[in-house]
Structure 1
Amino acid sequence: MANPFKPGAGRKPPYLAGRDDIIRSIKNDMKQVYEDAEGMRPIVISGLRGMGKTVLLRELAETAHHQDWIAIEVEASKHDSLAKKLAQATYVELRRIRNSSRPLSSAFEHALAVLRSFQLKIDPTGSYSIGIDINPAKGFADSGDLSLDLVDLLKAVGEAARESGTAVFISVDEFQEAPQEDLAALNIALHTLGQGSAPVPVYFVGAGLPTLPAVLADATSYAERMFRFYSLNLLSEEAVRKAYVEPTEKNMIKWENESLEAAIQAAGGYPYFIQQCGFCICEQIDFPGTITKSELLAGIALAQDEIDRGLYRSRWDRATPKGKEMMRAMAEDEVPSKLSDVADRMGKKQPSDLSVLRDRLIHDGLIYSPKRGYIAFTVPGMNAFIKRCSD
């Protein structure tokens, strides 16, 4: 019998615990978008690394696919144009529909032509060709203003979906990584789409680190009023218990009470840890079986070693020597560090002396600022890892 747990970045766990309220709320939105054939307020989901943001996006995308929506999924990157990624993902979806047996409307053909115009404008050299065998739609998505051209593209795809009796789902993972110009353009486009009397049925969900709301606000001042924001936090003990017990019960694995409680404490509410700990613990037993204290301790030790060598070590090695010095100073705190305290520990006269180093660590996704004057690690437990390294 296979191990029921699935550690790894973005892998869907056997039981998605503690996110019921968020999933229910967003799926209710999606239902309304579909029934009304009109768009709704876009969504932003933020949280630390390993909180399940990517898993949640994929859960929503699966719902969209099952309901025969046009589902456009991309992952933003510092080094790639978000506009090009959106164009490519849109083409993949439209090509899928075009190759299906369903009859296509004139609005669908228009959407393809607008996409062709958009692609030619963002990539006039043709280096990013996505193989659209259709003439561009003159006067649509060819202004050279990315925000206006995105409006044309999303409106055309949305109108095609409406005419076909469906809707459009767009998700952008690692949203904070997108180039500032693309972020601003997409914000403006989503804002413009939502201002009509009957907005096209386009539903947008972006996900990223806790810095994402501030990044979006920097891109366009009204972002904080335009998006609905959700935050993924550490799971409650009850949610962790369900995340452990639901998969094991289905696979005829039992927990000794003491072992289960110890596993819950070891996870610390962190979804990534639950999957890694659960996997390594279950590797210690024969199926079906019972998880006793000896299997638990061996599994947790193995899980900690796996996490240290993978998740933590890769992030630690990404920092410069000066960056590591600052992270060591932060590791003395169990909660977000006050920047002035970190400056004192590093022998700096004032917090502003750390501005460049702080910004570099934020840019590299290693730390973030939960509030003014404070900094924290983007991965739970990083401070404990740094202490273990020092020891």
Structure 2
Amino acid sequence: MDPITNPYSPGAGTPPYELAGRDELRNSLNITITRIMRGKPAKSMLLVGLRGVGKTVLLEQMSRDAEIGGSHIIFIEAPENRSLPALISPQLRLALLKLSRLEKSKDAAIRALKALAGFAKSLKITYSDIEVGFDHDPEAGLADNGDLEADLTALMIEVGKTAKDAGTALVLFIDELQYVKQEQFAALITALHRCAQLKLPVTLVGAGLPQLRGLAGNSKSYAERLFNYPEVGALDDSSATEAIVEPAKAEKVDYEEDAVIEIINRTKGYPYFIQEWGSHTWDVAKQSPITKNDVLAATELTIAAMDESFFRVRFDRLTPNEKQYIHAMATLGAGPHRSGDIADLMKKKSSDVAPVRNSLIKKGMVWAPNHGDTAFTVPLFNEFILRIMR
């Protein structure tokens, strides 16, 4: 098998040949955008799921779908230590400059750019990481009070009016949304809510870890009515088969049925793991069809590759105390586990290890599916921990 024609893409956010099992979500966003462009109500969308389920890949594809459909898009990845105003301001400027070139939305875009200038200048003291060019002088009293919630709402209203005049929609795509600080997320929710009330064509498609639901609810009580929370999870057997077989078929290579079943069993249907197993199996196989023995021969290489990349990069961020905590979790199994059981295994009180648990939640390593429960955000992470911390 020629490694140059290997059709699998086991990279962070790298689009696969076949984005299997996600058509319903893509169609749902298309309906949302069409509705808001017609002045009809539609909820924004927050995609939630564990690491490795393809949230970033799906978000990228949805942004391309929206752009092809005539929407103006903003795509942001939220790192842990950047403010939302700093992330959103340059992207809004680019979108508004594009809209200012259209005669029917030129005046509204210029007013929105003035609002953006006021917004950035008034909040520069609070959010020193804001860096954005100014194309027009700010207008006094327009998004310049120095209060994030009020100013972001005023700014997004002007952006929404611009999009409406242009006959388009503005769609914000924000990845890793769980890293946005709660008060900043609350301000964004308020702004989106006001745009929805005014029937302005602005919507958000966010993606993040499962704790994103709780973050939204804690930020604003009405968030549950403003968002849909579709869960992006492992693929069912049919979609997983498609993700395995179709890329190879495009290169005129087939799989034996047992080989496909073995990959699904090994990966448990998680898209990133499918790409890893498919890629290493391709390189190991000598000819078509790919057999179960090829998959088994590639397994050790696949696990080693994932250990040194997908898993290790997360493990190396942890402190010694955090590593002890997740080792106790892994010893108990895949989870979720009661926090008290983890503490008992460490021979400590729950209150003593609570700060460690909170730190792991902030780092996105674990989450709380229910009160008092703790679970890994990374599939199969318990198996990696037991391999590396024997």
Bucket of the pairwise TM-score, normalised by the shorter protein: over 0.9
Code of the residue aligned with 2:8 in structure 1: it is F
Shift in Å, 1:114: 1.4
Q: What residue number does 2:53 align with?
A: 51
Code of the residue aligned with 2:134 in structure 1: it is I
Q: What residue number does 2:120 align with?
A: 119
SS at match of 2:263: helix
CA distance in 1, matches of 2:130, 2:86: 8
SS at match of 1:141: coil
Code of the residue aligned with 1:143 in structure 2: it is N
Moved more, 231-240 or 290-299: 290-299
Shift in Å, 1:102: 6.5
CA distance in 1, matches of 2:299, 2:112: 52
Q: What residue number does 2:64 align with?
A: 62
Code of the residue aligned with 1:242 in structure 2: it is E
Cα distance change on mapping 1:96 and 1:300 into 2, 3 Å: farther
CA distance in 1, matches of 2:145, 2:133: 21
CA distance in 1, matches of 2:238, 2:43: 32
CA distance in 1, matches of 2:82, 2:267: 35
Shift in Å, 1:301: 2.1
Code of the residue aligned with 1:291 in structure 2: it is I
SS at match of 1:277: helix
Q: Does 1:359 align with 2:358?
A: yes
SS at match of 1:231: coil
Q: What residue number does 1:27 align with?
A: 30
Cα distance change on mapping 1:16 and 1:120 into 2, 3 Å: same
Code of the residue aligned with 2:120 in structure 1: it is Q
CA distance in 2, matches of 1:20, 1:246: 16
Gaps of 5+ in 1: none
Q: What residue number does 1:378 align with?
A: 377
Shift in Å, 1:180: 2.1
CA contact (8 A) 2:78 2:180 kept: yes
SS at match of 1:51: coil
SS at match of 2:134: coil
Shift in Å, 1:103: 6.4
- The count of aligned residue pairs is 385
CA contact (8 A) 1:53 1:207 kept: yes
Q: Does 1:181 align with 2:183?
A: yes
CA contact (8 A) 1:37 1:162 kept: no
Cα distance change on mapping 1:126 and 1:370 into 2, 3 Å: closer
The percent of aligned pairs where both chains have the same amino acid is 35
**How large is the RMSD of aligned CA atoms in angstroms?**
2.0
CA contact (8 A) 1:84 1:122 kept: no
CA distance in 2, matches of 1:106, 1:133: 13
1:154-208 deviation line (CA, Å, top 9, x unaligned): 1111111111111110111111101222112112222222223xx1100111111
Code of the residue aligned with 1:107 in structure 2: it is A
Code of the residue aligned with 1:248 in structure 2: it is A
1:286-305 deviation line (CA, Å, top 9, x unaligned): 6x732123432232322211
CA contact (8 A) 1:40 1:202 kept: no
CA distance in 1, matches of 2:220, 2:129: 30
CA contact (8 A) 1:45 1:208 kept: yes
CA distance in 2, matches of 1:314, 1:157: 39
Cα distance change on mapping 1:362 and 1:126 into 2, 3 Å: closer
Q: What residue number does 1:165 align with?
A: 167
CA contact (8 A) 2:364 2:377 kept: yes
CA distance in 2, matches of 1:258, 1:292: 7
Shift in Å, 1:370: 0.9
CA contact (8 A) 2:365 2:376 kept: yes
Cα distance change on mapping 1:290 and 1:194 into 2, 3 Å: same
Shift in Å, 1:101: 7.4
- Taking the TM superposition and a 5 Å limit, the aligned residue runs for 1:303-318 are 303-318=302-317
1:3-24 deviation line (CA, Å, top 9, x unaligned): 2111111111111122222222
CA contact (8 A) 1:120 1:126 kept: no
Cα distance change on mapping 1:214 and 1:189 into 2, 3 Å: same
- Taking the TM superposition and a 5 Å limit, the aligned residue runs for 1:1-391 are 2-34=5-37, 36-37=38-39, 40-98=42-100, 104-123=105-124, 128-196=130-198, 199-285=199-285, 289-332=288-331, 333-348=333-348, 350-391=349-390
SS at match of 2:295: helix
Gaps of 5+ in 2: none
CA distance in 2, matches of 1:280, 1:102: 53
Code of the residue aligned with 1:17 in structure 2: it is A
Q: What is the TM-score of this pair, normalised by structure 2? A: 0.93
CA contact (8 A) 1:39 1:203 kept: no
CA distance in 2, matches of 1:309, 1:127: 33
Shift in Å, 1:96: 3.9
CA distance in 1, matches of 2:253, 2:307: 27
Code of the residue aligned with 2:245 in structure 1: it is V
Code of the residue aligned with 2:375 in structure 1: it is A
Moved more, 120-129 or 266-275: 120-129
Code of the residue aligned with 1:111 in structure 2: it is A
1:35-79 deviation line (CA, Å, top 9, x unaligned): x04563221111111111111211111112112322111122331
Cα distance change on mapping 1:243 and 1:311 into 2, 3 Å: same
CA contact (8 A) 1:234 1:269 kept: yes
CA distance in 1, matches of 2:102, 2:364: 45
Cα distance change on mapping 1:127 and 1:258 into 2, 3 Å: closer
CA distance in 2, matches of 1:255, 1:326: 41
